[in-house]
Structure 1
């Protein structure tokens, strides 16, 4: 009998079946049919990981559709497993069921890690965006169903902190610092924006646990770049609106039965306070310093138990402004200190000394000049400030006018006029004629209470009357008239610029006839750069 030849294993082995949407549906139906098909979960997760690797190198519409379908299928699988209590530990389980439960738990955790890993895919197209958004919604859905079904008793309050922390750990490190907007340090990060609008702003319990979990995240070892990325994402989340209405807080919950502690506003304020203090003590970028200072008085201070803890941060920010030559940092830090002094009786005797130091020649040339004068008008609004200090500010501002552009001087004149109306004892600066020839004002003295400004005169304001720009000169003449007019509205002068001054002159109507050249010329200059026939 002739020997029977055996076929090689390579010839008889079947090629692995290619994954299709129909195959995914078949595996899903088998899982729902009987626990004996639970191994299909591992197959789907492995296929999902393979698809994600392909997704990270190249994407097409078919791959995108299949990947999203596998992801949504696994979400439905684990949704069913959780709601049917197959992941919940019970006291009457036998050893085999316990083994299955632990296996299912490990696969569930593995799948959640796959979902957050998709946020690291660095490809910009609509398919990638849709996948990442789907996975954010899926993870937040798991937070909700876990909070309902993972409690020890059916009626016991519970919130799924573990999954929520996993979401935040990976969500807050998405985006790119190169996308950070310089003016407010927020990041144009679609995942963070979606989380903010769909979850954070709508549900109180998610806001409450956001800050408690963020504290534990910040306590882990993070490199400076990651810390700065987290800071910008947090600023993006909390900047647009207050955390809650201070007068009538509406506490809409995301989970059905959250822990009672979420209603404890004092506990929330304490947690929020610890979280913000940790954030501002990180190694921040100057833009992030500025962003915190911008939102401090409306988004942070009202929700602190003890806002005076911010004093060190504000003082450091003031000094940083001079160190990095960005006076806006110093201005904004003084705004925060002012809020603490006004609302919480913070004693800060050097406030006006630090404010006086900001009045440098560069100030009236800067783009944020108008913001500074708005704040300065608030800081100097009290009638209880000593006349010596007010006189020093008037003298220093007048001195700045000698080298300032017309648009800057237009801000100073009405401000000084209002100061003189508010503090009549300073009228000596413009009305007293019995003065020594030498100016007694000490421009080098840093303390505004010791400059001898009241022994001087505001001769700088008289010099401005003769300014080359007619609008500036006519405005400054207000100091030569009786002080019986109402105080100026500063908002009418803060946004003036060169273009606005020029437009004002161009649109001015002249009375009578204008003086013109006797002879008419075809051009302003000749070929050689001047008019030969003109008598110079």
Structure 2
């Protein structure tokens, strides 16, 4: 008799796939084999063999799925202090026990999903199982609590959440209710993480000084959360909600998931919130608000520097158009713009969108923009977008003359230190400034100090800030060659650009790079005659590099090619008269070789 032990008394390692399949079939066929349920649960762990996990998962999924509408919720079980009647006591105890086993089942599935050692195919099956439970476990309504646990396990995983989020994006983010509850859950997760953070400076890691203080778990949490929130497609602005798909049941389909009405009548009455199932139209109205709250909560977190830069790059296209009130981002963007360096360049796009499309007022905008004109900007990764925005910011005809002159002079000074690709885009920017603002064309050519004094009388209040410059403006400059422009001044009002000239343009007329010298000739034209000139598209030069310049030169058709003419074919590179005592022979005779060998032998001896 000892050799015929029941299956439940075997050791875990002795079960094979066939025996697990038998246990599952017994569990599904009769309630008398309910003790197989705890045994199958023991095989659901990241350390178990994948084929054992798969067989147990299929059996338990088929067992729990039809029972989910009947199971009491975990909160209802914990809150039920009063004992049920004697008739329902056994059933209540049985359902409560099943609920506890279902919670264990969910915990095991979440552990497998978050484990880095789990197989990807198994993860996909686990995710599909959990999403099916989300669909039917709440009587037909979307089970937001279960879905929140699912997202929490994905985001809190110590490994990148790329695979799981890509699965959600390809299979489930097309459903509007899944996106809706994703934003709600991400907002809760971000708020919880923000509460645990002791630092008051939420963007302290932007300059890289405090980035090392972030723990590895928190940093991984923030990266996974960004990957998730950036892959949830926002709701496009459309009034037609008929094409929107729902993952959970609608109001009309809710009764089909309740099973037998006579049996589950009490359960349906006890679950009154399920009657208010959100429809696609209701979700569409609230989607923009949930999207906004999720992103604002996330932007309050201490973002790592690389994530911080990526957020700034994509904010103006992927986030701002879908916010309920984009002006709410003004504090985040102005703080980012004040950081300086590459971070300010990246924040400029979103800040420019808020100023031009949503009426944001930022008094120190041009002062901060002026401070970004440094040589390192011309080698930044996102310089193309920056130059296009810079050209757009200087397009307004209401721009004061001193401000236009300061930008033109600062750009021309950078001509002396930037690579050829930067010189091309600077030339295009100066060309457009001189054409749009005729009052600063006096900077192109100034013959003597008298002309300089007259030009200072035409300046606005920007040059009147410095009282010394006002006194000396009427006096001709007696020292030619002195540039009054202060390149280290961060305030364009005090830079004295109107007292200077664009003498740097003459230097690039002799630039070693032919495209730069050719293009600079356009600045010699009279740009005040707008009918005969046109603006230059800065976008054609903003993404230039050495490779693009070389490629353009190689494909350029040259009309005249310099040729070398010789009366006689040269036999050597240099003539003997150039280097006295040296001879340049094309070939060595055997006598010369022997003579050289003898000399080397004597030297060694």
CA contact (8 A) 1:241 1:299 kept: no
- Report the more deviating stretch, 351-360 or 206-215: 206-215
Pair 1:165 & 2:213 matched: no
CA offsets 1:149-176 (integer angstroms, 9 cap, x no match): 5xxxxxxxx3211110110100112364
Looking at structure 1, the residues matched to 71 and 507 of structure 2 have their Cα atoms a distance apart, in angstroms, of 86
Which of residues 124, 130, 135 is equivalent to 1:133? Answer: 124
Task: Name the residue aligned to 1:39.
Answer: 35
* Secondary structure at the counterpart of residue 402 of structure 1: coil
- Report the more deviating stretch, 410-419 or 219-228: 219-228
- Report the more deviating stretch, 16-25 or 395-404: 16-25
CA offsets 1:484-521 (integer angstroms, 9 cap, x no match): 22212223222332233334444453525513677646
CA offsets 1:47-69 (integer angstroms, 9 cap, x no match): 334xx324xxxxxxxx4233212
Task: Name the residue aligned to 1:94.
Answer: 88
Task: Name the residue aligned to 1:365.
Answer: 379
Task: Name the residue aligned to 1:216.
Answer: 188
Q: Mark the CA change 1:12 to 1:510 in structure 2 (over 3 Å): closer, same or farther.
A: closer
- Report the more deviating stretch, 514-523 or 283-292: 514-523
Task: Name the residue aligned to 2:437.
Answer: 423
1:247, CA displacement in angstroms? Answer: 3.5
Task: Name the residue aligned to 2:524.
Answer: 480
Looking at structure 2, the residues matched to 497 and 458 of structure 1 have their Cα atoms a distance apart, in angstroms, of 25
Q: How does 1:263-412 map to 2 (within 5 A)?
A: 263=282, 267-320=286-339, 322=340, 327-412=341-426
Taking structure 1 as the reference length, the TM-score comes to 0.82
* Secondary structure at the counterpart of residue 484 of structure 2: coil
Q: Mark the CA change 1:284 to 1:533 in structure 2 (over 3 Å): closer, same or farther.
A: farther
Pair 1:462 & 2:481 matched: no
Greater Rg over alpha carbons, structure? 2
Pair 1:252 & 2:245 matched: yes
* Secondary structure at the counterpart of residue 416 of structure 1: helix
CA contact (8 A) 2:245 2:280 kept: no
Which of residues 93, 100, 114 is equivalent to 2:108? Answer: 114
CA offsets 1:82-108 (integer angstroms, 9 cap, x no match): 25x355789987011000111111111
* Secondary structure at the counterpart of residue 415 of structure 1: helix
Looking at structure 2, the residues matched to 238 and 390 of structure 1 have their Cα atoms a distance apart, in angstroms, of 41
Looking at structure 2, the residues matched to 218 and 423 of structure 1 have their Cα atoms a distance apart, in angstroms, of 48
Which of residues 496, 499, 512 is equivalent to 2:544? Answer: 496
Q: Mark the CA change 1:378 to 1:232 in structure 2 (over 3 Å): closer, same or farther.
A: farther
Looking at structure 2, the residues matched to 521 and 104 of structure 1 have their Cα atoms a distance apart, in angstroms, of 100
Looking at structure 2, the residues matched to 532 and 374 of structure 1 have their Cα atoms a distance apart, in angstroms, of 59
Looking at structure 2, the residues matched to 374 and 12 of structure 1 have their Cα atoms a distance apart, in angstroms, of 79
Task: Name the residue aligned to 1:182.
Answer: none
Looking at structure 1, the residues matched to 240 and 307 of structure 2 have their Cα atoms a distance apart, in angstroms, of 29
Q: How does 1:51-66 map to 2 (within 5 A)?
A: 52-54=46-48, 63-66=49-52
CA offsets 1:324-351 (integer angstroms, 9 cap, x no match): xxx2211121222211111221110101
1:241, CA displacement in angstroms? Answer: 7.3
Looking at structure 2, the residues matched to 118 and 457 of structure 1 have their Cα atoms a distance apart, in angstroms, of 70
Looking at structure 2, the residues matched to 11 and 195 of structure 1 have their Cα atoms a distance apart, in angstroms, of 47
* Secondary structure at the counterpart of residue 118 of structure 1: helix
Q: Mark the CA change 1:420 to 1:516 in structure 2 (over 3 Å): closer, same or farther.
A: same
Task: Name the residue aligned to 2:200.
Answer: none
CA offsets 1:452-485 (integer angstroms, 9 cap, x no match): 3223211111221121222211110111123322
CA contact (8 A) 1:81 1:87 kept: no
When the two chains are superposed, the root-mean-square deviation of aligned CA atoms in Å is 3.2
CA offsets 1:166-193 (integer angstroms, 9 cap, x no match): 101001123646xxxxxxxxx7x11111
CA contact (8 A) 2:406 2:492 kept: yes
CA offsets 1:259-298 (integer angstroms, 9 cap, x no match): 2597255643333333222212211111111111112112
Looking at structure 2, the residues matched to 76 and 12 of structure 1 have their Cα atoms a distance apart, in angstroms, of 27
Looking at structure 2, the residues matched to 25 and 81 of structure 1 have their Cα atoms a distance apart, in angstroms, of 20
Task: Name the residue aligned to 1:528.
Answer: none
1:306, CA displacement in angstroms? Answer: 2.8
Looking at structure 2, the residues matched to 521 and 138 of structure 1 have their Cα atoms a distance apart, in angstroms, of 84
CA contact (8 A) 1:440 1:453 kept: yes
Looking at structure 1, the residues matched to 336 and 571 of structure 2 have their Cα atoms a distance apart, in angstroms, of 60
Looking at structure 1, the residues matched to 573 and 106 of structure 2 have their Cα atoms a distance apart, in angstroms, of 77
CA offsets 1:28-73 (integer angstroms, 9 cap, x no match): 3332333332222111102334xx324xxxxxxxx42332121122
Q: How does 1:8-23 map to 2 (within 5 A)?
A: 15-16=10-11, 18-23=14-19
Which of residues 94, 99, 106 is equivalent to 1:105? Answer: 99
Taking structure 2 as the reference length, the TM-score comes to 0.73
